[in-house]
Amino acid sequence: MRMISLLVLLLGFSGVTCSCDLPDPLKGGSTCENYTDSCLYVPEGEAVYIASDTLGDPDVNKTIQFTWRREKGNTSISSSEEERIHHHGPALLFLPIYLNDSDLYIARFDMAGKCHILYVPVKVVAARDPEGGNLLYTPLNISDTNPKITCPEIVKDRCKAEKGVFSWDRNSTLMAGEAGEDLQLLGVTKADSALYTCRCTWRHMEHMAYNTTASRNLIVEDKGFFSKIQIIHPTTKELMVHPGYPLSIKCKALIGTNVCSKCKGECQGTWEKNNHSLNSIDGYRQNFSCNMEEPSKKSFITSTLIIDKVQESDLKASFRCRAKSPTDVKYHYLTLKRAESLTSLLVALMCVSAVFLLATTAIKCFAVDLVLFSRRFLPCTKTRNDGLQYDVYVVYQSEKAMEEILSRFLYQALLQVLEQKCGFRVFIHGRDAIPGEDRLRQVEERVMLSRRLMVVLTPGSEVNETLGSSPSGPPSEAVDWQIGLHHALLQEMRVILVQLGDMGPQGYTHLSPTLKHLVRKSAPLCWREDSPGASHWNSRFWKRVRYAMPSAVAKPSSSVV
Ligand SMILES: *[C@@H]1O[C@H](CO)[C@@H](O)[C@H](O)[C@H]1NC(C)=O
Ligand SMILES: *[C@@H]1O[C@H](CO)[C@@H](O)[C@H](O)[C@H]1NC(C)=O
Ligand SMILES: *[C@@H]1O[C@H](CO)[C@@H](O)[C@H](O)[C@H]1NC(C)=O
Ligand SMILES: *[C@@H]1O[C@H](CO)[C@@H](O)[C@H](O)[C@H]1NC(C)=O
Ligand SMILES: *[C@@H]1O[C@H](CO)[C@@H](O)[C@H](O)[C@H]1NC(C)=O
Ligand SMILES: *[C@@H]1O[C@H](CO)[C@@H](O)[C@H](O)[C@H]1NC(C)=O
Ligand SMILES: *[C@@H]1O[C@H](CO)[C@@H](O)[C@H](O)[C@H]1NC(C)=O
Ligand SMILES: *[C@@H]1O[C@H](CO)[C@@H](O)[C@H](O)[C@H]1NC(C)=O
Ligand SMILES: *[C@@H]1O[C@H](CO)[C@@H](O)[C@H](O)[C@H]1NC(C)=O
């Protein structure tokens, strides 16, 4: 033990540590003191000088006898300098090393009356093996513009001991004129990033030349630069907030490329309220960070303001984020606005829809009244000159059972309201026909001179329609009826259907297709003699009739009496 402590670490292998699988014999049995080196990766074809990294300088006591053997085949290794593989006490030499030399090498020696065993695992890799990465020493990561690349000690020390010659490769290409143990580079840029190899060419026994190399990557960091500051976030000038609730606002700004490490306290992201710093003010906190995006190396500063509880005073204040780098400073102003809460929005929405619903219902219910009301401003007596003589042509079919009601409707209620009250010109055949004129021609003419056709339906309407074609001569109403309907359809004349009393169980089924079609288009207006407003111009029935009538009365013409 005392002896070991005297030994000095000879070579550093820190860059190539790894663990090989150790064979079974190693896993116990012997009573000897034992040491196991870390696995050593070496490139094939080179001269390799291995000194144990757990033992130290063997020259301290030259009297110690070492015996070496390989694990494979238990072959012993001589100390003869003539052999390709031989040992110098605790050091092992391969001149050169081949792929099939990968093995576990075992040294045995006695020291201080005790046996010791040293295990040295060696792995030879082909020069272009993917495992070649294991050959590399610690990469150099520099930001210095004039870096010095040192040759790893395993090569440098041997080279000095053997009086060898140094040379350097960059990405496996010889660098002309470079023969120093260190490589001094000047003004490196990212383009100088490469694999740098230091090679020692040396002679053993004065006759053979050997190469020993070690490689390491040089990584030249992008030189950073500050750019004009660009505030990425927030993007708006206003922020909707809920007073009484906590709030956090992030301010993020681009300050340059690969500069976070160069800030040295000169990059800042701070929040201010009304131009006053919010540092050490109760209820406000902020943090700061500088982050780099990979691989672009874009550098962002971020400052998050945390307000524990948004106050009313915050709503009136002007906040600003101040982003600063050594070369630039930018501000972003922000005001806080009260956000409508979801419930109040919902209530407002419901109110609006309720009002809308009410309005549409009201318009639907009072449409007739509204129109009639508006017509009041265009007075009832206003006339219109469209060449038509009558406002309405009334057709009906008389039947025994309904005769009296029909006459009361036509000659009392209808005339009283439409003619007397509103001044409409009404044509009722029974009343207005001029005796002696050709009946067919007269009906046709008058219908064409009317703006509306009023069809008065009674329970017996059209039941005896066949009479209309009977040779004995049709009743006058039947002609009116058919000609009126015919014209109404041809001219798309507006028809007002009025129904006197109930139609009975048959409904409208017995009507002609023409009438059925009209009934489907708009339901007949029902006149009930016993209702209180039967002949009152402002009753519901007469309002609806008036609504269906033209808005202005026809102009009397002298040509037709
Ligand atoms: C190595 O030494 C330890 C004690 O120092 C012992 O327990 C172990 O068995 C030894 N291993 C071998 C392979 O001799
Ligand atoms: C070298 O080792 C031998 C045997 O172990 C011992 O007798 C001798 O004193 C040692 N020499 C030195 C200089 O330590
Ligand atoms: C290896 O060889 C040596 C010497 O020839 C012998 O003492 C030892 O037992 C052998 N070991 C094995 C594992 O065969
Ligand atoms: C190992 O390989 C070298 C050349 O590649 C060859 O000369 C030598 O005979 C090989 N040794 C064994 C033990 O196979
Ligand atoms: C180089 O070093 C810098 C800090 O000095 C570090 O941020 C970067 O990640 C390193 N790059 C590599 C490839 O190790
Ligand atoms: C060296 O090789 C690496 C990997 O192929 C490449 O990225 C780098 O640009 C090369 N450097 C030089 C200086 O040729
Ligand atoms: C040593 O390396 C140099 C440069 O790559 C090469 O020209 C030379 O042949 C090598 N020598 C041996 C013995 O491999
Ligand atoms: C803050 O300062 C700027 C100039 O530094 C000024 O224009 C602005 O009016 C100030 N705002 C308040 C709220 O004091
Ligand atoms: C800053 O605070 C915010 C909000 O609490 C948090 O999300 C963020 O991670 C913090 N950043 C730093 C650098 O501490």
Separation of CA 27 and ligand 1 centre (Å): 8
Q: What is the distance between the alpha carbons of residues 275 and 188, in angstroms, rounded to a whole number?
A: 45
Q: What was the pLDDT predicted at 4?
A: 27
Separation of CA 160 and ligand 1 centre (Å): 36
Q: What is the pLDDT of residues 201-213, one digit of tens each?
A: 998 877 678 888 8
DSSP letter string, 168-208 = EEETTEE-TT--SSEEE--S--GGG-EEEEEEEEEEETTTE
Q: What is the distance between the alpha carbons of residues 153 and 49, in angstroms, rounded to a whole number?
A: 12
Strand extents, DSSP E, 44-172: 48-51, 66-70, 76-77, 85-88, 91-94, 103-111, 114-125, 136-142, 148-150, 165-170
- Nearest bound ligand to CA 34? 1
Average pLDDT, the chain: 80
Q: Is the CB of 136 under 6 A from ligand 5?
A: no
Q: Which H helix or E strand runs over 320?
A: strand 318-324
Q: What was the pLDDT predicted at 13?
A: 31
- Nearest bound ligand to CA 124? 4
Q: Is the CB of 138 under 6 A from ligand 5?
A: no
Give residues (CB < 6 A) around ligand 9: 248, 287, 289, 304, 306
Q: What was the pLDDT predicted at 560?
A: 40
Separation of CA 37 and ligand 3 centre (Å): 21
Q: In the numeric block, which tokens belong to residue 264?
A: 């040295």
Number of H helices and E strands in the chain, helices first, is 10, 32
Beta-strand relationship, 450-457 and 494-500: parallel
Q: Point out the ligand 8 atom lying closest to the alpha carbon of residue 317.
A: 13
Helices (H), 296-423: 312-316, 342-377, 403-408
Q: Which of 75, 84, 100, 122 to mutate to test the pocket of ligand 4 (most atoms within 8 A of CB)?
A: 100
DSSP-assigned beta bridge partners for residue 105: 70, 120
- Indicate the angle between helix axes 476-490 and 513-521, nearest 10 degrees: 60
Give residues (CB < 6 A) around ligand 6: 170-171, 191, 193-194
Rg, the chain, Cα only: 57
Q: Point out the ligand 9 atom lying closest to the alpha carbon of residue 289.
A: 13
Q: What was the pLDDT predicted at 230?
A: 93
DSSP-assigned beta bridge partners for residue 251: 303
Protein residue whose Cα sits closest to atom 6 of ligand 6: 194
Q: What was the pLDDT predicted at 186?
A: 84
Domain 381-548 -> CATH class: alpha beta
Separation of CA 317 and ligand 9 centre (Å): 24
Beta-strand relationship, 182-184 and 76-77: unpaired
Q: What was the pLDDT predicted at 165?
A: 94
Separation of CA 408 and ligand 7 centre (Å): 134
- By three-state DSSP, how is residue 44 classified? coil
- Nearest bound ligand to CA 30? 1
Q: Is the CB of 275 under 6 A from ligand 8?
A: yes
Name the nearest CA neighbour of 87 among 102, 77, 97, 99. Answer: 77
- 10 Å CB burial of residue 457 (0-12, 13-18, 19+) is buried
Separation of CA 37 and ligand 1 centre (Å): 14
Q: What was the pLDDT predicted at 8?
A: 23
Protein residue whose Cα sits closest to atom 6 of ligand 2: 63
- 10 Å CB burial of residue 92 (0-12, 13-18, 19+) is buried
Q: What was the pLDDT predicted at 20?
A: 55
- CB atoms closer than 10 angstroms to residue 523: 10
Q: Is the CB of 61 under 6 A from ligand 2?
A: yes
Q: Point out the ligand 9 atom lying closest to the alpha carbon of residue 285.
A: 2
Q: What is the pLDDT of residues 493-506, one digit of tens each?
A: 888 888 887 887 87
Q: What was the pLDDT predicted at 139?
A: 66
Protein residue whose Cα sits closest to atom 7 of ligand 1: 28
Residues contacting residue 302 through CB under 8 Å, at least 6 positions apart: 250, 251, 252, 253, 269, 288, 289, 290, 291
The domain made up of 9-125 is a member of CATH 2.60.40.10: yes
Q: What is the pLDDT of residues 227-237, one digit of tens each?
A: 999 999 999 99
Q: What is the distance between the alpha carbons of residues 183 and 201, in angstroms, rounded to a whole number?
A: 16
Q: What is the distance between the alpha carbons of residues 69 and 86, in angstroms, rounded to a whole number?
A: 10
Q: What is the distance between the alpha carbons of residues 553 and 388, in angstroms, rounded to a whole number?
A: 10
Separation of CA 16 and ligand 4 centre (Å): 25
Separation of CA 67 and ligand 2 centre (Å): 17
Q: Which of 275, 331, 334, 336 to mutate to test the pocket of ligand 8 (most atoms within 8 A of CB)?
A: 275
Separation of CA 157 and ligand 8 centre (Å): 68
Q: What was the pLDDT predicted at 61?
A: 60
- For 511-518, the CB contacts below 8 A with 24+ separation are 511/457, 511/461, 511/462, 512/462, 512/465, 512/485, 514/485, 514/489, 515/455, 515/457, 515/461, 515/462, 515/485, 518/455, 518/485, 518/488
Residues contacting residue 51 through CB under 8 Å, at least 6 positions apart: 10, 11, 58, 90, 91
Q: Point out the ligand 1 atom lying closest to the alpha carbon of residue 27.
A: 13
Q: What is the pLDDT of residues 74-92, one digit of tens each?
A: 899 999 988 999 998 888 8
- CB atoms closer than 10 angstroms to residue 286: 21
Separation of CA 266 and ligand 8 centre (Å): 23
Question: For residues 218 and 193, is the Cβ–Cβ distance under 8 A?
Answer: yes
Which segments in the chain show pLDDT lower than 50? 1-19, 58, 60, 130-131, 380-381, 466-474, 558-561
Q: What is the distance between the alpha carbons of residues 458 and 403, in angstroms, rounded to a whole number?
A: 10
What would the CATH number be for the domain defined by 138-220? 2.60.40.10
Separation of CA 192 and ligand 6 centre (Å): 8
Q: Is the CB of 114 under 6 A from ligand 1?
A: no
Name the nearest CA neighbour of 48 among 91, 8, 81, 100. Answer: 91
Q: What is the distance between the alpha carbons of residues 386 and 383, in angstroms, rounded to a whole number?
A: 10
Q: What fold is seen in the domain 228-338?
A: Immunoglobulin-like (2.60.40)
- C-alpha count within 13 angstroms, C-beta hemisphere, residue 540: 8
Q: What was the pLDDT predicted at 5?
A: 25
Separation of CA 100 and ligand 4 centre (Å): 6
Name the nearest CA neighbour of 249 among 257, 259, 239. Answer: 239
Residues contacting residue 140 through CB under 8 Å, at least 6 positions apart: 147, 149, 216, 217, 218, 219
